[in-house]
Amino acid sequence: MAGEEASRREPRLANRYFFKMMLSYCLVIFVGLGLVAVLTTSRVVGALTEKELRMDSEMVQQVQTYSDEKYRTVQSIFAQLYMPKSYYNNYSITDYLNPRKRAPMDSRIKRELISGYLQDICGANDFISDIFIVDYGDRDIYFFSSIAGRDTSLDYDFYDRGIPGEDIDNRIRIIPNHIPAYINASSVNDYAVISYCIYLFDVNAVRFNQPLGYIVVNVWADHFKQAYRNAESLNGTLFVVDRNGMTLFDSSGEGAGKPFDGTPYGIADFRNAASNDAYVISAQQSERTGYWFMNVVSREVIHREVGAMRRSLYGALVACVLLALVISLVSAMLFTRRIKRLVFRMQAVERGEFRTWPQPRSRDEIGYLEESFNRMTSRLEKHIQTAYVYQLKSKTAELRALQAQINPHFLFNTLESIRINALMNKDEQTARMIHLLGNLFRWNIKTRGMFVELRQEIEYAGAFIELELMRYADAFEVKTEVPQKLMQLGVPKFILQPLVENAIKHGQMGVIEGGLITIEARLEAEAQLVIAVCDNGRGMDEETLRRIEARLDDPGAETTEDSYSIGLSNVHQRLRILFGEPYGMSIESEPGVRTVVTIAMPAMRKEEMETYVQSDHRG
């Protein structure tokens, strides 16, 4: 007993399977996610660097494309000055500046035409802040600005100073970020511009040393911002530097208008500008303008992103481990509780307690195990009860058989003597009844075993029916509707006669003529043999039918219909003992119309049925 009690004790925590599984599970998660975090961060650094280079290259290319487009626009503005216009009487703007080709119109009309042309240019190009033309011939200035109230200064000498630069030629000159000195001090003049300037000559000039004047197009120094949506989209600093190393644009706003200093970024020469340990650099030069476009991103920005990602991964790692611990603990508790419940049921069965356990609500493996255990317990209980009841009934039958044992030869000889005496007295009907009764007893003794063929059972019932027809003076008729192929199927012995006897004694009670009893047999689904005995007698009401049905399942139930139901109950109980559920008897009845008693059993031959009954089929 001590060893048995020790074996039933619950294992210690360290020896529990679920505890080991939980620790292994958490270790796998921790190691796996840790490796993932390390590998991910190492790969992310390279991926972010490549991504930054790609984005920077795309951004630099985008700004360069934008700058080249604006430069082409300025070139187009300069070229249009030499193109005759139909609305200028087929003259060009330079024709109005050329004394030898001057159009025949006064100075007012000339000013209106040139000023209107400048206004149209500003209106069509929002990146231009100011535009003006200096006329050397008439010593006049034509100026237009997109800023209201902005005008040129009267103290500035436009004619003697000309365009800042060296020689006079027809090349475009670019003046980097500056605040123009030729704007009136009382005007708005607090922002830097980039000036595109070119001298204007006679279209037929051979030498470019005597200009007709010059034109200056001022663009916003920060118009490069329009190449991208907003400055915040840049991770680093975008630079635009001209051929001479002057910074035209600095997205940080610190170096514009100053010589570019690449020393802090490790850049000694634009052509050799490349990423280094401290910065990610993307640079390219425009063939059209000669500008250098360059974006510089500190690697600290990338490292900050990686650090944030690393912290997120480590936080997720800790959260996953904690969550795994909680889930494992809860799962282990629930799982262990269900195992304990199953062990408790096993111990109850071990003590001989076969109770009805509730069906499991979950459909997992434990639920399947509980369901299988419940089914096993139910089958075991039914098997024990069936074996006990069957043994008890067998002993009772043996006792009754011993008590009622009569010498068969004495019985047959006595019946034969009575039959001969009846014939001598010319009572043929009595002799026939005695002969049928003798055949019934002889058939009962002659047949061995628990089962007979359906053909034999119908023959036995036929002899009983013939005997009853003589008794009731042919007050009823019996029809047998059984297919020939079913005659060789096996049935329990004496299974049909009690049904026919009840149909005659109770169904046809008080019937003088016109009674009809039908015996039918058929096969139904799942290899089931169904035999029905139907009579057109007086039938039963619902209350009587309910009491008889209660007696079928409980032979000990008190009822006033014992004379009717005892034989039916015996048949039903035999079928249940032999074959188990769902086989057995059912009754349908309509008062004054009919009563149908139906029995169901497995459809098989006699030998198969004997083997079937001996097997464990009723669990």
In a domain, 178, yes or no: yes
Most confident listed range (186-190, 191-195, 423-427): 191-195
With CA atoms as reference, report the closest residue to 293 among 301, 284, 303, 302. 284
* Residue where a domain stops, chosen among 260, 289, 316: 316
Write the DSSP string, 348-368: HHHTT--PPPPPPS--SHHHH
**CB-based contact 382:390 (threshold 8 Å):** no
Residue 500 falls inside a structural domain: yes
SS3 539: coil
| DSSP 8-class letter at 489 | B
Pair (112, 258) in one structural domain: yes
Residue of 278, 286, 298 whose CA lies nearest to 249:
286
**Residue 245: CATH number of its domain:** 3.30.450.20
Q: Number of structural domains, the chain?
A: 2
Using pLDDT thresholds of 50, 70 and 90, give the confidence band for residue 48. low
What confidence tier does 153 reach under pLDDT thresholds 50, 70, 90?
confident
Q: How many CB atoms lie within 10 A of CB 468?
A: 21
Neighbour-count burial of 129, counting CB atoms closer than 10 A to its CB (0-12 exposed, 13-18 middle, 19+ buried) = buried
**Sole residue written with tokens 């010589």:** 259
Provide the CATH number for the domain around residue 479.
3.30.565.10
Domain endpoint, select from 296, 316, 336: 316
- Region 485-505 average pLDDT: 88
Could you tell me the pLDDT band of residue 420, with boundaries at 50, 70 and 90?
Answer: low
Residue 255 to residue 595: CA distance in whole angstroms? 112
Residues 290 and 243: beta-carbon distance below 8 Å: yes
Whether the pLDDT of residue 142 is over 70: the answer is: yes
The pLDDT value recorded for residue 403 is 42
pLDDT tens sequence across 459-493: 888 888 887 777 777 778 889 999 999 999 999 98
User: What is the band of 271 on the pLDDT scale with cuts at 50, 70, 90?
Assistant: confident
Range of the domain at 560: 447-614
CA dist 414 → 217, 293, 347, 411, 438 (Å): 149, 135, 63, 5, 10
**Nearest Cα to 180, choosing from 252, 257, 246, 122?**
257
Q: What is the pLDDT of residue 89?
A: 73
Whether the Cβ atoms of residue 596 and residue 589 lie closer than 8 Å to each other: yes
